[in-house]
Homo-oligomer: A and B are copies of this chain.
Amino acid sequence: MTDHVLEHGVVGLTLRPVAAAVGTSDRMLVYHFGTRDDLVMAVVLRTEERSIAAIDALPAASGVRAGVNALWRAYQTEPLASGLRVYLQAAATGLLGQEPHRSGARAGGERWVGAIRAYLVRCGVPAERAPRVTALVDSSLYGFHLDLVTDTPDELAQGVDDLAVAAAALADLSLAGRAD
């Protein structure tokens, strides 16, 4: 089911088509998940797990700049590409903003950010500077991903590399002893 949603998006997730895709009926989905919202949330959570695992499996790059660019390339391949798209849909449509989904989504999101932070540290970001660099990289990658639908690959590659430079600069600030 998660595969099907990753392919077709979460906004148009309706019981009957997804049930047919997995060889069962809408009746069964409601029986096992209770309600459609619960089903959506289960899919979102599983999507988060897969994405986190994909980031954890990423080999460390040499340096922050290379790491950010490698992260972006990973975001454009499966399973992260579809996973991020589903997560963005859920966040943009406000599905994640209302309880009880909000708590679960926040926990999953934090683990996701944690995976990115761990990766950036592996790439050489000093630990005490990692949270701030991570916040920048994480939200920026969200934005760049949204630009995928309109911008050209060239423009995006340029933009992401600028992000990498900026992230590296931010990481260097503490090493140079400068206050923020």
Q: Which residues of A contact B (CB under 8 A)?
A: 9, 11, 85, 88-89, 91-94, 96-97, 102, 105-106, 109, 132-133, 135-136, 138-144, 146-147, 149-151, 155, 158-159, 161-163, 165-167, 169-170, 173, 180
Contact = CB atoms under 8 A, between A and B. Distances in A.
Given A97-B149, A136-B159, 7 more contacts: A88-B146, A102-B149, A106-B150, A133-B162, A136-B166, A162-B170, A166-B167
Given A91-B149, A92-B92, A162 B140 contact: no
User: In the assembly, how many copies of this chain are there?
Assistant: 2
Given A136-B140, A159-B136, A170-B165, A93 B9 contact: yes
The secondary-structure label for the interface of chain A is helix
